[in-house]
Structure formats: structure tokens, C-alpha cells
Structure 1
Amino acid sequence: MPAPNGPRRPGGAARCRRGDGGPRRRPARALAAEPAPVAVESIQQVANNIRAWLVGILVAVATLFLTVGGLRYLAANGDPGEVEKAKLALRPAAIGWALALLAPLFVTIVGSWVA
């Protein structure tokens, strides 16, 4: 027995009752809302936001350098020149992680100067 909307197509879609055989279409809906205005209540909040972004960027870059240095170290196969290049790539990773850990301290110091 055929389906109430007509025979099934190979893809499993039923025919439209309009008779033209085209796919059923629904009206488009607008899902985007108007963005809320961003309000900053204090300089301290701005400093905290900057610190959060700074720490995130520093951690991402330091992790990238750590990954590259680690892969170079693994691929060195004991070659002293390649091992030195790998160590040179690991040094900025350590510096980046140290700066990311000390960023809250820097923001606190600058915040005390401003306030």
C-alpha cells in the first residue's frame, strides 16, 4: 500500500501534496537577537578582563612552543644539533608559561597604581 503522500522516493522523502514533486519548504526564521550593550563598571573589571585574555593568549602560544619543541626533541634521534634546536624551542615555552602565571601579579600592581 503506498504512503498517504504518494510513493516514497529513493532517498526516503515523501512527495509533496502540491503535486509538483518538490521538497517541502518551511519559512525561514530569524534566530539572531540584538546584542546586549557591554557595560564596564570599573577599571578593576577592565584590568581583570585584560588579564584573562592575556593569560589565555600566553598559555596558547606557550603550549604551541612546548609542542613544537617536544616534537623536535623526539625527532632529533640523538643528533646534537637538532637537540639544541629543540631546547631553543622549549625555552620560549617556559618563558611564556612563567609570564602567564605572573600576569595576575602584574595586573594587581598596575591596578594599585591606577586606583
Structure 2
Amino acid sequence: MFRRNVHRIITITITLVVLATLTGSAPAHAAEPQILAAPYPLPVIISRITAWIVGLLVGVATLFLTIGGLRRLAAGGDPTEIEKSNSAFKNALLGYALAVLAPILLAIVQGWIGG
């Protein structure tokens, strides 16, 4: 077992050395520090994050709405299942409300950070 672990360590080390040689990477101390500029200005980044968050919230809210509807259809008059479906409907409503409020909240954050 010890020989197998040593063999794995040697194999991984050789693989890393070969990959470093093939990619032509220089030692870390030889590289000069670079100042990287952001590819997009802050308002563009925040608008993209807003669109992503709103899309995610609407998708999850729609999932909860679908689950609530299916539970209501399959309840068959069972009060516990109807309560579970009502809970799913409330979660869907909360998700849609957050999706509507997300752009407003992110605009407030953008105002704080000076974008």
C-alpha cells in the first residue's frame, strides 16, 4: 500500500512538471505584476447580475407555483396536502415579489458603492 501511494505521488509530480514545461509557465517570482482592467464598467456588471437574479427568482417561483398546483390537484380533499400546497403558493408569491424587488435592491446597492 505504501508503494502504491509513493507511485501515485511520483506520477502526479511528473505530470505537473510536464504540464508546467509544456505550457511554458515561468516561476512566480519572475512574473511582473500586472494591473488588470475590468472588461465591463460597474453599471453593466450590476445590470447583468440583476437580470440573472431576476431570472433565477422567477424560475424558482414558477417551480413552487407548479408544485403547489400539482399538490392541490393530487390532494383529493386531504387537509394536510392542501396546507402544503398553500405553503408552496405562498413561497411562489414570495419569489415573485423578490423578483420584482431585486432591481430596486440592486440599484440601492449600486448607489452605495458609487456606480
Q: Distance in 1 between matches of 2:102 and 2:80?
A: 34
Q: Distance in 2 between matches of 1:57 and 1:85?
A: 23
What's the secondary structure of 1:81's corresponding residue?
Answer: helix
Report Cα offsets for 1:35-63 as digits up to 9, x if no partner.
xxx931x1111110100000001100110
Q: Distance in 2 between matches of 1:107 and 1:71?
A: 33
Following TM superposition, by how much is the alpha carbon of 1:67 offset from its aligned partner in structure 2, in angstroms? 0.2
Following TM superposition, by how much is the alpha carbon of 1:87 offset from its aligned partner in structure 2, in angstroms? 0.8
1:70 maps to 69
Q: Distance in 2 between matches of 1:60 and 1:84?
A: 23
Report Cα offsets for 1:9-48 as digits up to 9, x if no partner.
xxxxxxxxxxxxxxxxxxxxxxxxxxxxx931x1111110
Alignment of 1:1-115 (within 5 A): 39-40=39-40, 42-115=41-114
Structure 1 segments of 4+ aligned residues over 6 angstroms from their partners:
none
Higher relative contact order (CA 8 A, sep 6+): 2
Superposed CA RMSD in Å reads 1.3
Gap runs ≥5 in structure 1: 1-37
Normalising by structure 1, what TM-score? 0.63
What's the secondary structure of 1:78's corresponding residue?
Answer: coil
Gap runs ≥5 in structure 2: 1-37
Give the number of the structure whose residues are more often helix, by fraction: 2
Q: Distance in 1 between matches of 2:87 and 2:107?
A: 31
The one-letter amino acid of 1:96's match is: G
What's the secondary structure of 1:109's corresponding residue?
Answer: helix
1:14 maps to none
What's the secondary structure of 1:39's corresponding residue?
Answer: coil
Report Cα offsets for 1:60-101 as digits up to 9, x if no partner.
011001000011011112211110011111121111110001
| Aligned residues between the structures | 77
Task: Indicate the percent of aligned positions where both proteins have the same amino acid.
Answer: 51
